[in-house]
Amino acid sequence: MQRIGVFVCWCGSNIAGTVDVQAVSDALKNEPGVVFSTNYQYMCSQAGQDLIVDAVREHNLTGLVICSCSPRMHEATFRKTAQKAGLNPYMVEIANIREQCSWVHKEMEIGTEKAIILGKAAIAKVHLNAPLTPGESPVTKRALVIGGGIAGIQTALDIADAGFKVDIVEKLPTIGGKMAQLDKTFPTLDCAACILTPKMVDVAQNENVRIFSYSEVTEVKGFVGNFDVTIKKNARYVKEDICTGCGACVDKCPMKKNPNEFNLGMDNRPAIYIPFAQAVPKVATIDPNACNMLKNGKCGLCARVCTAGAIDYTQKDEYIEEKYGAIVVATGYNPISMDKFDEFAYNQSKDVITSLEFERLTNAAGPTAGKLLRPSDGKHPEKIVFVQCVGSRCDACAEKGKEYCSKICCMYTAKHAMLTRDKYPDTEVYVFYIDVRTPGKNFDEFYRRAVEEYGVHYIKGMVGKVTPEGDKLIVQASDLLADKQLKIDADLVVLAAAIEPDKSARPLATMLTASMDTNDFFTEAHPKLRPVESPTAGVFLSGCCQGPKDIPETVSQASAAAAKVIGLLVKDKLTGNPCIASSNELMCNGCSSCERVCPYGAITYVDKEFRMPDRTTRMRRVAQVNPAVCQGCGACTVACPSGAMDLRGFSSSQIMAEVDAICK
Amino acid sequence: MQVKEYKPLIVAFCCNWCSYAGADLAGNNRLNYPADVKIIRVPCSCRVNPMFILRAFQRGADGVILCGCHPGDCHYTSGNYFTRRRMALLFSMLDFLGIERERTRVEWVSAAEGAKFAATMNDFVATVTALGENKRLEDLRCKK
Amino acid sequence: MQKISRESLVEKAIAMLQAHEVSAVLGWKKGEFDYDITPALFTDAEDLQKNFVWNDFCGANFSKYLVEKTRNIEGKILTFLKPCDTYSFNQLLTEHRFDREKVYAIGIPCEGMVDIKKIKDACGEGIASIACEEDVLKVTTLYEDAPIAIETETVLAERCLACKSKKHVAYDELLGETGEVLESNRFDEVERLEAMTADERFAFWQNELSRCIRCNACRDVCPACTCEKCVFDNPNSGVENKAAANSFEEKLFHIIRAFHVAGRCTDCGECSRVCPQQIPLHLLNRKFIHDIDRFYGDYQAGAEVGSRAPLVDYTLDDLEASEIFEGRDN
């Protein structure tokens, strides 16, 4: 039986004005287990706290009930007081007789009666309180960044600058991501390569950063502060540490006709290749599906011309295991496939291209060396039609597109249109849009310049159909403002394809037990207040994996994620919240209901041997809660039909005791 | 003979992060609601087991209200979404058994909605008072 | 009359036992009477030949038995599953309640099972024996000289009249043919109750549930109730009660039981079959199923292994609890 002390606070006249505090402390004195009951003017004051400490010592109290202001106000204070008196801080319960009693009721009789009931409920609960100790776990001071685009690079740089080790895992042979493929960036029109490649070099040269390119994460175990990650380094058949990136092999390779991914297949690359001149790491990679040596054992030319001796046809995939304290997801985006958009004739005409392809066509390092030429005949296009929202903001066509706004298309289309008119003033440029959305610093000014200074024809309305006819593309569209149908004989049609999360994100989310929305964007821990954290502790979000973003926004979020990671890694150990769920293994059915409602992936299952009452042993699948990951919401406790899952500090019996006390 | 005015007994489960704070705010702003409402603090509305609600009715509660963060604002991301399903189904079942559907309610109250909290409680108490005593789910032994 | 013969089942079972492909056979045998066919475990051919039963009384759903039997028996168990049993089978697999590797499941077609209560209504008590023939049951009672012939169709169990599926959703092998998911009228009774006034519904359930003797048969037979320890048996749960002291506790037990199996109940109807007080308990489960279908989209528990039960799932724009009665004026 607990020895409970009740301390009723007057809070000056805040409580005492509407609640007869003497009557409350007198009434609660008679409750079972209560051995001491008093009232005092300001319980939270030093004198009030001393009164509590003295009472604990004098009456050997084991549990405290403080009838005072809201626990949101002073629960922490009184827990410390309890600790000072030698009690476990979780042996304190607060009856909220200020905010939820004296302040909302006017009559003394009513207020007093309610305060007594609230006090009784707190007493009933504290009877069932048990000492709780927060768990501690160490922190591995190394971070993993998955994805080496601008988001991943920025996050890694910021973490490394704070003095922590960071590894970047990038699935392609080079870091740089989508930004490396862009030509100019809105709204300032500085060239993407000029601002990105120095960062790529920085990150490569930073001694706190390791880059695993052409690699992927294959397994994640553990939890915040203690992740065990397996990284698969795909065989590139070139010794990374020896290759100098001279490119001799690339020049000599006879298998030259392979679609060049970096230029989105608009030109070809050899079987051994370096994606682009500023690639990091600048080493060659052999495409095993194209290399004659790897396929048929014939050739070996690259090995012969490599003076460094870096070519290794026998190289195997390598698995690296590493421990991390934090993981940042920066897996980025891709334009959606245009296969389902037959109306735009993307698959019928080479001159219907996506905006990313347009970037390559205007990029000095692209397939046309920066000259805007039609992919079909290499002629200069005189009339270009840009179609916005291709697959974005789809409602009726949700089956083939996305319901969300891809956010970046309005701005890059304005950029494309403006740059075209700037370089080739003889070109007529049309943009078809649903709305032009330009919130952002200097964004609307940028768009207006495209219209006003550069004379781009912005037409509100959607393109219904694109039909190749001879060397023209007949664009049928409606002009909603003029309420008429248009027919434009264009030379080039550019589709602002919606963007979607990279396909690698979904399996990664499963590995990380991080939640995703229906569009496969990672979910934040809180949409407003914790935008760069995943609900899974220790997993952070950077860039477009969380939602469509432009570069400035991506970089800010990348730095924000880095700040969160640094805040975690700087700790030597993590102290958990002790009010967490725990499973009674003897009662657990192993049914997985709790696991399915846990927003944090805190619940795992183990097969465990149990001794049964009849002295046999039996293997049973039981749930285990990771105390470092559980946040104590209690969703699992209701999902569990057997009642094996309970929540410390808010146990079923505690809550029912409160219900009983109130309803008595 | 003086007839005692009927006072209902209302149990309100409030999540710690939004609704309990909303109730505190009602207090800070001195917004009145009947003392018939007794609040039980839970970490999240998803902590509330249907068993607790039935228990309250069994022990003589006349109404039970569950308050949580607005959908999308749950401190634990998804807790109130589970609450919403569980309570929709539970309340529908209670109605199926012929229990007055006005005796149970779910309300989303944010930490900034002190006024909404008070208004909700005033309305709920008035509704339950009009219904009168809960006789269909009580345990007679628990009645005084 | 069942289309697949008892002999073909026995033959298959014996063959598998003798080939040591399975070490036991979960089947039906006669209980005290011809109509209380009970589940039984067979381990030898002779026993099978003599005691294995397959007829219009084999309603028992074997899925739940696998939880315990697969733990206690070395080697594989052969079990026969009617279409509705396969749903429970899958649901238990979803919840990791037994090891799939330890079971050899043979799907068998079912023409519907009869309800002994209906037979007794037709022939009175004192049934000495019942012979299942083509479309007809021949019932011999203590009081009549000649057997009474009853058309099987007229005494089919309610759950079979409202059969939801003739399709087997899980099996290693089929004997006979599998069918289709059916358009069933199984929610008609739920809707009839919903159309009543609250007072009428209360009166209906008060009448039904007050007969409950808390024998726990519904729980013990339910393939969704496989908890290691039921909350109602657990002294620490705060709601432990063995016998209902008053009408509230019956309600508490049945509401909570239905809630615990909501989204997991496959609507096999075993609860009502075994209720000695003939309480239509399946209506509580069907109410949940019907609500789930209406509120969150059609969901059939056990239709596939690993599906996410509606109560451990959500969408951002689910119905609010305050909206569930919209459009209803009673």
Q: Is A229 left (phi over 0), alpha (psi -120 to 50) or beta?
A: beta
How large is the ipTM?
0.95
What radius of gyration, in Å, describes the C-alpha atoms of chain B? 15
Tell me which chain C residues have a C-beta less than 8 angstroms from the C-beta of B78: 314
Using the predicted structure, report yes or no on whether residue C248 has a pLDDT greater than 80. Answer: no
Q: Nearest by CB to A596, which of C97, C238, C308? A: C308
Q: Which domain holds residue C269?
A: 186-330
Which tokens hold the place of A224?
């915040």
User: Does C295 sit within 8 Å of B101, measured CB to CB?
Assistant: no
Mean pLDDT for the stretch of residues C252-267: 95
Q: Is A240 within a domain?
A: no
Q: Nearest by CB to C287, which of B85, B96, B100? A: B96
Amino acid symbol at A46: Q
User: Does B26 sit within 8 Å of A104, measured CB to CB?
Assistant: yes
**For a pLDDT cut of 70, what percent of chain C falls above it?**
98
In a 3-state reduction of DSSP, which class is residue A655? helix
Q: Is B43 within a domain?
A: yes
* DSSP secondary structure string for all residues of A436-485: ----STTHHHHHHHHHHTT--EEEES-EEEEEEETTEEEEEEEETTTTEE
User: Does C311 sit within 8 Å of B89, measured CB to CB?
Assistant: yes
A401 and A440 assigned to the same domain:
yes
Helices (H), C58-115: 63-72, 83-94
Q: Is the peptide bond before C280 cis (omega within 30 degrees of 0)?
A: no
Q: Is A137 within a domain?
A: no
Helices (H), chain B: 19-28, 50-58, 79-96, 114-131
Other residues' Cβ atoms within 10 Å of the Cβ of residue B142: 16
Which tokens hold the place of A175?
């870091």
Using the predicted structure, report yes or no on whether residue C242 has a pLDDT greater than 90. Answer: no
Chain A residue with CA closest to B52: the answer is: A656
* Number of alpha helices (DSSP H) and beta strands (DSSP E) in chain A: 18, 34
**Number of separate domains in chain C:** 3
What pLDDT, on a 0 to 100 scale, did the predictor assign at position A514? 85
A613 and A629 assigned to the same domain:
yes
In a 3-state reduction of DSSP, which class is residue A492? strand
Using the predicted structure, report yes or no on whether residue B144 has a pLDDT greater than 50. Answer: no
Q: How many CA atoms lie within 13 A of A47 on its CB side?
A: 5
Residue A96, phi then psi, degrees to nearest 5 = -80, 90
What pLDDT, on a 0 to 100 scale, did the predictor assign at position C250? 80
User: Does C321 sit within 8 Å of B91, measured CB to CB?
Assistant: yes
C229 and C303 assigned to the same domain:
yes
A16 and A30 assigned to the same domain:
yes
Helices (H), C82-197: 83-94, 116-123, 158-161, 188-194
A188–chain C Cβ distance below 8 A for any pair = no
Which tokens hold the place of A639?
């999902």
**Number of separate domains in chain A:** 5
Q: Is A588 within a domain?
A: yes
Q: How far is the alpha carbon of C179 from chain B, nearest alpha carbon, in Å? A: 32
Provide the CA A145 distance to its chain's centre, in angstroms: 12
Q: How far is the alpha carbon of B16 from chain A, nearest alpha carbon, in Å? A: 8
Chain A residue with CA closest to C231: the answer is: A642
Among C202, C237, C314, most B C-beta atoms within 10 A, so best to mutate, is C314
Using the predicted structure, report yes or no on whether residue B15 has a pLDDT greater than 60. Answer: yes
Q: Is A658 within a domain?
A: no
Q: Is B27 within a domain?
A: yes
Question: Does residue B51 contact residue C256 with C-beta atoms inside 8 Å?
Answer: yes
What pLDDT, on a 0 to 100 scale, did the predictor assign at position C204? 95
Mean pLDDT for the stretch of residues C45-49: 95
Other residues' Cβ atoms within 10 Å of the Cβ of residue C122: 14
Q: Order of strands across the sheet with A472-479?
A: A463-469, A472-479, A484-490
> What is the pTM (predicted TM-score) of this model?
0.78
C168 and C203 assigned to the same domain:
no
Tell me which chain C residues have a C-beta less than 8 angstroms from the C-beta of A639: 311-312
**Looking at chain C from residue 219 to 258, which residues have their Cβ under 8 Å from any Cβ of chain B?**
231, 238-239, 245-246, 248-249, 251-252, 255-256, 258
C258 and C316 assigned to the same domain:
yes
- For chain A (length 664 residues), average pLDDT per consecutive 10? 96 96 97 97 96 97 97 94 96 97 96 97 97 93 98 98 98 97 95 95 97 96 92 97 95 95 95 96 96 94 95 96 98 95 94 97 94 94 96 79 95 97 96 95 96 96 94 96 95 97 93 86 86 91 97 97 98 92 94 93 93 85 92 96 95 95 91
Tell me which chain B residues have a C-beta less than 8 angstroms from the C-beta of C319: 84, 88
CATH number at residue B108: 3.40.50
Contacts from A515-524 at CB under 8 Å and sequence distance 24+? A515/A599, A515/B77, A515/B78, A519/A402, A519/A403, A519/A404, A521/A545, A521/A546, A521/A547, A522/A329, A522/A546, A523/B77
Tell me which chain B residues have a C-beta less than 8 angstroms from the C-beta of A98: 27
> Rounded to whole angstroms, how far apart are CA atoms A151 and A158?
11
C13 and C120 assigned to the same domain:
no
What is the rounded average pLDDT for all residues in chain C? 92
Q: Is A266 within a domain?
A: yes
Q: Which domain holds residue B62?
A: 10-137
Kindly state the DSSP code that residue A558 receives in the 8-state scheme: H
Q: How many CA atoms lie within 13 A of C74 on its CB side?
A: 1
Q: Nearest by CB to A104, which of B27, B40, B61? A: B27
Q: Nearest by CB to C260, which of A588, A618, A641? A: A641
pLDDT by residue (tens digit) across C264-294? 999 999 999 999 999 999 999 999 999 999 9
User: Does B139 sit within 8 Å of C311, measured CB to CB?
Assistant: no
**Number of separate domains in chain B:** 1
A348 and A472 assigned to the same domain:
yes
CATH number at residue A565: 3.50.50.60
B48–chain C Cβ distance below 8 A for any pair = no
Q: Residue A5: enclosing H or E segment and its boundaries?
A: strand A4-9
Kindly state the DSSP code that residue A321 receives in the 8-state scheme: E
Q: Tokens 């969380």 label which residue? A: A546
